[in-house]
Chains A and B, each alone.
Chain A
Amino acid sequence: MIDLDPRLESRLRTFYEHIEDQSPPRGLAGATPPARARRLSLNLVVGVAAAALVAAGIALFATELHQHHNAPPPAPAGAGNGSSLPNASQMTAPLPSSTRTLIPVLHGQGAATLQTFTPNGLIFIEYACVGDGTFGVASTNSDVAFNEVACSPDGTAASVQGVIVPAIGPIGGTPLTLKVSADPATRWEIVIADGGPVLPGLTLDFSSAPAGSRVLVEGMYGTGTTSVGPFTHTGPIYVRYACTGTGTINFAASNSSEQIGTRGGCLNGAVGTALLSVQSLKGPVELSVGAAPKSLWEILVYEFPGPNA
């Protein structure tokens, strides 16, 4: 046990008592199994890499497609979707208000092929599933795929999860057909939307950071609060950003011992640049980007290397 002087011991004890008096959120206090934490961001690089996952999934889908022929077609949510899957409003709640619905909330079981749509901007795929197996989504043309995830066990409440896929290159503006892969007994819901050309920031050319600068974090999309990095730097950190809505977007860079931060305004997607620091943080640095939960943002982080670079 720590040997403390009485004054500090008293203040520390009072401080901890105060913390422990705070009740946990109701969601934690309930006697229900946990929901998966939502992580809704996809680095462009990851997006491209994700496409490669389809190759490995082709063989699996051959099997899944066979199962699909015997599976009931997906139906609009609410038609007997079971109490353990989120309702339609819960499914759409994470979507930024500026998004356009491409496929309304659907309820399905097992493998299925979804209606073809033509996305622009970012594709938002929100899903929830219940069953002993896994759940995955991939496009028929191999441009979109994300790895299969484990579903919530039967009898538990499934939470809404999501990914964002940049509809760029071969994806943007061309028809896309997604297939759901799931075990025959796995029940799921899905809703798909796109951001459309809502963010002027989407026109940011991620490869064109200012002359003389060095890119620390490649262009990245996200919603709410997410950490990126780590990276190392030798000069001032700049964040070029754009975010939906009119709230604030906070940036904080930290290493193992210190941290610095600044903030910017979300002016309905206008592009801004924030100077995060004028001094260097030693060692690996992580950058936390924080905005309102439904605010969609994108960032490009760069520096002008210092003399010690």
Chain B
Amino acid sequence: MIAVAGVAQAGEASPQRTFEAVAIPEARRLYSLALSILRDEGEAEDAVQETLLKAWRSWGSVSGMDRPAAWLTRVCVNHCISRRRLLRARGWPPLDLREEAGSAPARSSNAELIDMDRAYRRLSLKQRAAITLNYRHGYSIEECAVFMGCRPGTVRTHVARGLATLRKELIDD
């Protein structure tokens, strides 16, 4: 069973909603989120599948939450950052393999995108999650802390260090 403390309370007045109506439409957003963190299409798909599976199995309580989307986000983020699979960072596998693998940024002719992708892959999963949630998805530091299961100060540290790494890597390029 998934812990949902801090995200939403089950059993509140929200009407029961169907899984298809609530969770499935979230799949694309969750996939983008997972792909932003994991930078691996297969891993991202796995993360979303696992998230939806947990939602499906707990739908009796999830459907009654005020913000089931927030619950889905938290589960997805936790799944991503607990994987600890940093296969693509630190230049491994080499860029040529990433191109062979067909990831979109590597295929792109846009050199800046490739540089950014390479720099981004050097971030830890938690740094990626913190920057993605805070910068891209617009969640507050406190909300990010709930999603990531850590303290707000830790989120700030992840964001700051992640950005510092990006700046350094992009300047080095």
- A interface residues (Cβ-Cβ under 8 A, vs B): 1-2, 4, 8, 11-12, 14-16, 18-25, 27-37, 150, 153, 225, 227, 250, 252, 254, 256-261, 263, 286, 288, 290
Interface 1/0 per residue, B24-35 and A, CB below 8 Å:
100110011001
Contact A260 B90 (CB under 8 A): yes
Contact A250 B167 (CB under 8 A): no
**Contact sample, A vs B, 11 pairs, CB 8 Å cutoff:** A4-B163, A16-B36, A16-B132, A18-B108, A33-B52, A34-B49, A252-B87, A252-B92, A259-B86, A261-B90, A286-B85
Beta-carbon contact of A34 and B52 below 8 Å: yes
> Is B93 touching A2 in the complex (CB atoms < 8 A)?
no
A16 touches B86 (CB 8 A): no
* Complex contact B53–A36 (CB within 8 A): yes
> Does residue B104 face the partner (Cβ distance < 8 Å to A)?
yes
Complex interface: chain A residues within 8 A of B112 (CB): 11, 14
Which residues from chain A contact B166 at a C-beta distance below 8 Å?
A: 8, 12
| C-alpha spacing A29/B42, complex, angstroms | 14
Is B46 an interface position by the 8 A CB rule?
yes
* Chain A interface SS verdict (over half): mixed
Q: How far, in angstroms, from A284 to B94 measured CA to CA in the complex?
A: 25
A12 to B132: give the CA distance in the assembly, Å. 10
Name, among A2, A20, A257, A290, the residue most crowded by chain B CB atoms within 10 Å (CB to CB). A2
Given contacts A4-B135, A29-B27, contact A15 B53 (CB under 8 A): no
A28 touches B113 (CB 8 A): no
| Pairs A-B, 3 closest by C-beta atoms | A34-B52, A24-B31, A261-B92
Identify whether the interface residues of B are mostly helix, strand, loop, or mixed. Answer: helix
> B4 at interface (Cβ–Cβ under 8 A)?
no
Output the least CB separation between B81 and chain A (Å): 10
Contacts between chains A and B (CB distance < 8 A), count: 128
| B134 and A1 within 8 A (CB) | yes
CA distance A20 to B105 in the complex (A): 12
Which A residue's beta carbon lies closest to that of B39?
A19
A28 touches B49 (CB 8 A): yes
* B89 contacts A11, C-beta separation under 8 Å: no
With contacts A2-B134, A8-B170, A33-B52 taken as known, whether A20 is within 8 angstroms of B32 at the C-beta atoms is yes
B151 within 8 Å of A (CB atoms): no
Q: Quick one: which of B129-157 are within 8 Å of A by CB? A: 131-132, 134-136, 138
Which residues of B in the span 38-66 have a Cβ within 8 Å of any Cβ on A? Answer: 41-42, 45-46, 48-50, 52-53, 55-57
Question: Do A257 and B124 touch (CB < 8 A)?
Answer: yes
Residues from chain A with a CB closer than 8 A to the CB of B53 are 34-37
Q: Are A37 and B85 CB-contacts (below 8 A) given A8-B163, A14-B116, A18-B104?
A: no
A residues less than 8 Å from B86 (CB atoms): 252, 254, 258-259
Contact A12 B92, beta carbon cutoff 8 Å:
no
> Given the complex of chains A and B, what is the CA–CA distance between A15 and B121 in angstroms?
12
Known: A30-B24, A35-B49. 18 other contacts (CB 8 A): A8-B163, A12-B116, A12-B166, A14-B113, A18-B105, A19-B36, A20-B32, A22-B41, A28-B31, A34-B49, A37-B49, A150-B57, A252-B86, A254-B84, A259-B86, A259-B87, A260-B90, A263-B93
Give the contacting residue for A11; candidates B46, B48, B84, B170; CB below 8 A: B170
Query: Is B75 on the interface with A (CB-CB < 8 A)?
Result: no
Which residues of the other chain, A, contact B167 by a CB distance below 8 angstroms? 8
- The docked-state distance in angstroms from the alpha carbon of A227 to that of B79 is 14
Cα A23 to Cα B27 with chains together (Å)? 10
Chain B residue at minimal CB-CB distance from A156? B56
Choice from A1, A11, A25, A261 contacting B93 with Cβ under 8 Å: A261
How far is A116 from B106 in the complex, measured between Cα atoms in Å? 51
Given A14-B116, A24-B48, A37-B50, the answer on whether A258 and B84 have CB atoms closer than 8 Å is no
